[in-house]
Amino acid sequence: MRLTPLEGRIYLAIPGLEDHLRAELPPPEGVSVRAAAGLLPSDSAQPPALSAGDLVNQRFVVSSNPPAEVFWCQDAWLEPFRLEFGSINEAARALRDIQRNWAPVLFTQFRRGALIQEKLPPLQSKPRPFPWLLPDSPLGAWTLLDAHTLVGSARCESPFPGGVIRFEEDRRGPPSRAYLKLQEALVRCRKWPAPGDRCLDAGASPGGWTWVLARLGAQVTAVDRAPPDRRILALEAVRYLRHDAFTLPCEDLGPQDWVFSDVVCYPPRLLEWIEKWLASGLCENFVCTVKFQGCADDAVIRRFAALPAGRLVHLYHNKHELTWIRAGG
């Protein structure tokens, strides 16, 4: 058995947004994980014929010289290593010796991978109820390149197995499925509004986010140019303001425990609005969706990422958008 640290990081691309990830990484990028792990010559003039496994494998992008922050990925493996092993028992033991929790992200060798995973502590695979407090213990990830070669990382960017989180869905209560991304953002914050907290929900209609907040017991001011669903309007904890969210002065709304935005708008408009809220000192906690049309503007992404005490992430439930999260003290 031989364990070798690999240089750089391994990124798991977002299905359909692979080009965004590749554009973020400096050349040489896009080396296949097999090549990076020394299994194929990365400079081979004749690229190896693609098998089904290799096609899936295109989702793993290896960068030996990664920038400090990469946003368009479903997960990043921060400390990758290669493990050459003889038997299934040996592979499982090597992973267990590193730490307790591991998630498989397989694209080949599915049967062998399942047998290794069976020998590791089980992962909760059922959809989660909300709210659910994420454990602090680290979760690693691994994949198999062939029957005797595993690539893994004990530290990953996403706290969810392979970057995937599924919630128990409520098909009757919320008027839109957008509630799932707010739930995910709040689980990642490891905190959420407490009963009685004042929440501003900008771009609230039809009301999925407001529904989540009201269910937590918060007092919600829902602002939108279009009215929310009738069932949301009927909730006692919800006050609706028909207004352009960006022209409502923060001082008029007063102190808020949380400010949310899912407004469809150009990112600079949202940035300017967040900066006003930050400057006002009226709120510490934010969850704001940054929506992009066509290609994402790298300069504006950097400006969101530089906002104080926040982080910009791609949630599993985000589409062509990122989420700026700040969960203050």
| Catalytic machinery residues | 291
Q: Where are the beta strands (DSSP E) in the chain?
A: 2-5, 9-12, 60-63, 75-77, 80-84, 101-104, 139-146, 149-153, 198-202, 219-224, 238-242, 258-261, 285-291, 311-313, 321-327
Q: Which is nearer to ligand SAM, 149 or 289 (CB)?
A: 289
3-state DSSP: the chain helix, strand, coil percent, rounded to 5?
Answer: 30, 25, 50
Give the number of other CB atoms < 10 A from CB of residue 293.
Answer: 10
User: From the list 207, 290, 304, 312, which residue makes contact with ligand SAM (rule: CB under 6 A)?
Assistant: 207
CB-based closest residue to ligand SAM? 208
Question: Is 262 among the residues that bind ligand SAM (CB under 6 A)?
Answer: yes
User: From the list 42, 58, 64, 176, which residue makes contact with ligand SAM (rule: CB under 6 A)?
Assistant: 176
Contact 162, 105 (CB under 8 A): yes
CA atoms within 13 A on the CB side of 59: 19
Question: Is 265 among the residues that bind ligand SAM (CB under 6 A)?
Answer: yes
User: From the list 66, 80, 113, 203, which residue makes contact with ligand SAM (rule: CB under 6 A)?
Assistant: 203
Q: Which is nearer to ligand SAM, 143 or 205 (CB)?
A: 205
Report the site for ligand SAM in 214-253 (rule: CB under 6 A): 223-226, 244-246
Amino acid symbol at 293: Q
Q: How far is CA 307 from the centre of its chain?
A: 18
User: From the list 150, 165, 200, 263, which residue makes contact with ligand SAM (rule: CB under 6 A)?
Assistant: 263
Contacts with ligand SAM by CB under 6 A: the residue count is: 22
Question: At its nearest, how many Å lie between ligand SAM and the CB of residue 238?
Answer: 12
3-state secondary structure of 279: helix
Q: Please give the structure tokens belonging to residue 261.
A: 């935005």
Question: At its nearest, how many Å lie between ligand SAM and the CB of residue 167?
Answer: 14
3-state secondary structure of 30: coil
Q: Which is nearer to ligand SAM, 52 or 226 (CB)?
A: 226
Q: Which is nearer to ligand SAM, 100 or 242 (CB)?
A: 242
Question: Is 208 among the residues that bind ligand SAM (CB under 6 A)?
Answer: yes
Q: What is the chain's Cα-based Rg?
A: 22
Question: Is 23 among the residues that bind ligand SAM (CB under 6 A)?
Answer: no
Q: Which residues are near ligand SAM by CB under 6 A?
A: 176, 178-179, 202-209, 223-226, 244-246, 262-265
